[in-house]
Amino acid sequence: MTLAVLLVEDDRELRTTLRDALAVEGYKVYTAASLREGMALLEHMPEQSAHADDPAVDLIVLDLGLPDGDGETLLSAHRRRHATPVIVISARQGDGQKIRLLDGGADDYLVKPFSIGELLARMRVSLRHRGTNLKAAITRYDDGGLAIDIASRDVSLDGSPVHLTPTEFALLARLVRSAGQVV
Protein backbone atom coordinates (compact mmCIF):
# COMPACT_ATOMS: atom_id res chain seq x y z
CA MET A 1 0.00 0.00 0.00
CA THR A 2 1.41 3.38 -1.01
CA LEU A 3 0.87 6.03 1.63
CA ALA A 4 -0.16 9.51 0.51
CA VAL A 5 1.18 12.72 2.03
CA LEU A 6 -0.08 16.26 1.55
CA LEU A 7 2.83 18.70 1.82
CA VAL A 8 1.78 22.34 2.30
CA GLU A 9 4.90 24.54 2.12
CA ASP A 10 5.36 27.89 0.37
CA ASP A 11 9.17 27.79 0.08
CA ARG A 12 9.69 26.29 -3.38
CA GLU A 13 13.17 24.91 -2.68
CA LEU A 14 12.14 23.23 0.58
CA ARG A 15 8.89 21.94 -0.97
CA THR A 16 10.82 20.38 -3.87
CA THR A 17 13.45 18.86 -1.58
CA LEU A 18 10.84 17.36 0.74
CA ARG A 19 8.69 16.14 -2.16
CA ASP A 20 11.65 14.37 -3.75
CA ALA A 21 12.82 12.86 -0.44
CA LEU A 22 9.32 11.58 0.37
CA ALA A 23 8.94 10.14 -3.14
CA VAL A 24 12.25 8.29 -2.77
CA GLU A 25 10.86 6.81 0.46
CA GLY A 26 7.88 5.49 -1.50
CA TYR A 27 5.22 8.04 -0.52
CA LYS A 28 2.75 9.49 -3.01
CA VAL A 29 3.13 13.25 -2.47
CA TYR A 30 0.60 15.98 -3.16
CA THR A 31 2.01 19.50 -2.84
CA ALA A 32 0.50 22.91 -2.20
CA ALA A 33 2.27 26.27 -2.01
CA SER A 34 -0.50 28.18 -0.24
CA LEU A 35 -3.30 27.81 2.26
CA ARG A 36 -5.87 28.05 -0.54
CA GLU A 37 -4.17 25.29 -2.57
CA GLY A 38 -3.90 23.03 0.48
CA MET A 39 -7.57 23.50 1.39
CA ALA A 40 -8.61 22.88 -2.24
CA LEU A 41 -6.54 19.70 -2.47
CA LEU A 42 -8.07 18.34 0.72
CA GLU A 43 -11.58 19.20 -0.50
CA HIS A 44 -11.07 17.44 -3.81
CA MET A 45 -9.38 14.30 -2.51
CA PRO A 46 -11.38 11.12 -3.01
CA GLU A 47 -13.88 10.80 -0.19
CA GLN A 48 -12.31 7.85 1.58
CA SER A 49 -9.16 5.85 1.87
CA ALA A 50 -8.72 2.52 3.59
CA HIS A 51 -9.61 4.34 6.82
CA ALA A 52 -13.36 4.87 6.97
CA ASP A 53 -13.56 8.49 8.12
CA ASP A 54 -10.43 9.97 6.62
CA PRO A 55 -9.68 11.47 3.21
CA ALA A 56 -7.34 9.65 0.84
CA VAL A 57 -4.29 11.33 2.35
CA ASP A 58 -2.56 9.45 5.16
CA LEU A 59 -0.55 12.33 6.63
CA ILE A 60 -0.25 16.11 6.28
CA VAL A 61 3.03 18.02 6.59
CA LEU A 62 2.00 21.63 7.17
CA ASP A 63 3.94 24.89 7.20
CA LEU A 64 2.41 27.72 9.22
CA GLY A 65 3.72 30.84 7.45
CA LEU A 66 1.88 30.65 4.14
CA PRO A 67 1.51 33.64 1.79
CA ASP A 68 -2.29 33.77 2.01
CA GLY A 69 -2.84 32.84 5.65
CA ASP A 70 -1.68 30.75 8.56
CA GLY A 71 -1.45 26.97 8.28
CA GLU A 72 -3.26 26.82 11.60
CA THR A 73 -6.46 27.62 9.66
CA LEU A 74 -6.07 24.43 7.62
CA LEU A 75 -5.25 22.45 10.76
CA SER A 76 -8.36 23.53 12.64
CA ALA A 77 -10.69 23.17 9.62
CA HIS A 78 -9.34 19.71 8.83
CA ARG A 79 -9.23 18.49 12.42
CA ARG A 80 -12.97 19.16 12.88
CA ARG A 81 -13.78 16.40 10.41
CA HIS A 82 -10.77 14.09 10.16
CA ALA A 83 -8.16 12.33 12.27
CA THR A 84 -5.40 12.39 9.64
CA PRO A 85 -2.04 12.95 11.38
CA VAL A 86 -0.68 16.48 10.91
CA ILE A 87 2.98 17.36 11.41
CA VAL A 88 3.57 21.11 11.61
CA ILE A 89 6.87 22.41 10.23
CA SER A 90 7.69 25.99 11.12
CA ALA A 91 10.45 28.45 11.91
CA ARG A 92 8.39 29.60 14.90
CA GLN A 93 10.18 28.34 17.99
CA GLY A 94 8.14 29.66 20.92
CA ASP A 95 6.80 27.12 23.39
CA GLY A 96 3.43 28.89 23.54
CA GLN A 97 2.90 28.44 19.79
CA LYS A 98 3.95 24.79 19.88
CA ILE A 99 1.73 23.99 22.87
CA ARG A 100 -1.28 25.76 21.35
CA LEU A 101 -0.93 23.88 18.05
CA LEU A 102 -0.31 20.51 19.67
CA ASP A 103 -3.33 21.04 21.93
CA GLY A 104 -5.26 22.24 18.88
CA GLY A 105 -4.80 19.04 16.92
CA ALA A 106 -1.28 18.85 15.52
CA ASP A 107 0.30 15.45 16.08
CA ASP A 108 3.83 16.81 16.05
CA TYR A 109 5.72 20.08 15.64
CA LEU A 110 9.10 20.29 13.97
CA VAL A 111 11.15 23.52 14.05
CA LYS A 112 13.00 24.53 10.87
CA PRO A 113 15.69 23.80 9.97
CA PHE A 114 15.38 20.05 10.46
CA SER A 115 16.87 16.96 8.88
CA ILE A 116 14.87 14.89 6.45
CA GLY A 117 15.74 11.82 8.53
CA GLU A 118 14.08 13.37 11.58
CA LEU A 119 10.97 14.30 9.58
CA LEU A 120 10.73 10.76 8.20
CA ALA A 121 11.09 9.28 11.70
CA ARG A 122 8.35 11.56 13.05
CA MET A 123 6.12 10.63 10.12
CA ARG A 124 6.60 6.92 10.87
CA VAL A 125 5.71 7.53 14.53
CA SER A 126 2.56 9.49 13.63
CA LEU A 127 1.45 6.81 11.19
CA ARG A 128 2.26 4.03 13.65
CA HIS A 129 0.22 5.76 16.39
CA ARG A 130 -2.67 6.00 13.96
CA GLY A 131 -2.43 2.28 13.30
CA THR A 132 -1.37 2.58 9.68
CA ASN A 133 0.43 -0.55 8.55
CA LEU A 134 3.93 0.50 7.55
CA LYS A 135 6.17 -1.75 5.55
CA ALA A 136 9.67 -1.73 6.95
CA ALA A 137 11.55 0.88 4.97
CA ILE A 138 14.52 -0.40 3.05
CA THR A 139 17.41 1.92 3.81
CA ARG A 140 20.36 -0.29 2.84
CA TYR A 141 20.98 -2.68 -0.02
CA ASP A 142 24.11 -4.76 -0.46
CA ASP A 143 24.53 -7.67 -2.85
CA GLY A 144 28.27 -8.01 -2.35
CA GLY A 145 29.28 -5.75 -5.23
CA LEU A 146 26.70 -3.02 -5.30
CA ALA A 147 26.05 -1.24 -1.98
CA ILE A 148 23.39 1.44 -1.56
CA ASP A 149 22.68 3.43 1.59
CA ILE A 150 19.47 5.32 0.84
CA ALA A 151 19.50 7.36 4.05
CA SER A 152 22.99 8.80 3.42
CA ARG A 153 22.60 8.71 -0.39
CA ASP A 154 25.84 6.71 -0.80
CA VAL A 155 26.35 4.23 -3.63
CA SER A 156 29.43 2.11 -4.19
CA LEU A 157 30.37 -0.60 -6.65
CA ASP A 158 33.05 -3.05 -5.56
CA GLY A 159 34.05 -0.59 -2.82
CA SER A 160 34.45 2.43 -5.12
CA PRO A 161 32.04 5.34 -4.74
CA VAL A 162 29.57 5.86 -7.58
CA HIS A 163 28.49 9.46 -8.20
CA LEU A 164 24.86 9.79 -9.29
CA THR A 165 22.73 12.80 -10.13
CA PRO A 166 19.74 13.36 -7.83
CA THR A 167 17.43 11.97 -10.52
CA GLU A 168 19.59 8.88 -11.02
CA PHE A 169 19.71 8.29 -7.27
CA ALA A 170 15.94 8.73 -6.90
CA LEU A 171 15.37 6.19 -9.68
CA LEU A 172 17.84 3.72 -8.17
CA ALA A 173 16.29 4.08 -4.70
CA ARG A 174 12.81 3.55 -6.16
CA LEU A 175 13.95 0.37 -7.91
CA VAL A 176 15.56 -0.96 -4.71
CA ARG A 177 12.42 -0.24 -2.67
CA SER A 178 10.24 -1.87 -5.32
CA ALA A 179 12.33 -5.03 -5.79
CA GLY A 180 10.17 -7.83 -7.16
CA GLN A 181 7.45 -5.44 -8.35
CA VAL A 182 6.67 -3.91 -11.70
CA VAL A 183 7.68 -0.23 -11.62
Which residues, at least 6 apart from 168, have a Cβ–Cβ distance to it below 8 Å?
none
If residue 160 lies in a helix (H) or strand (E), which one and from where to where? Answer: strand 160-161
The predicted structure's pLDDT at residue 138: 60
The pLDDT assigned to 135 comes to 54
Residue 85: helix, strand or coil by DSSP?
coil
Domains of the chain: 4-130 (3.40.50.2300), 140-177 (1.10.10.10)
pLDDT averaged per 10 residues in sequence order, the chain, 183 residues? 89 95 88 95 66 68 95 90 92 93 95 92 88 62 83 86 88 78 68
Predicted local distance difference test score (pLDDT) of residue 150: 79
Give pLDDT, residue 173: 82
89: helix, coil or strand? Answer: strand
Q: What is the pTM of this model?
A: 0.71
Distance between CA atoms of residues 63 and 128, nearest Å:
22
pLDDT in tens, 6-40: 999 999 999 999 999 898 888 899 999 999 999 99
The 3-state DSSP composition of the chain as helix, strand, coil percent (nearest 5) reads 35, 20, 40
At 44, which amino acid appears?
H
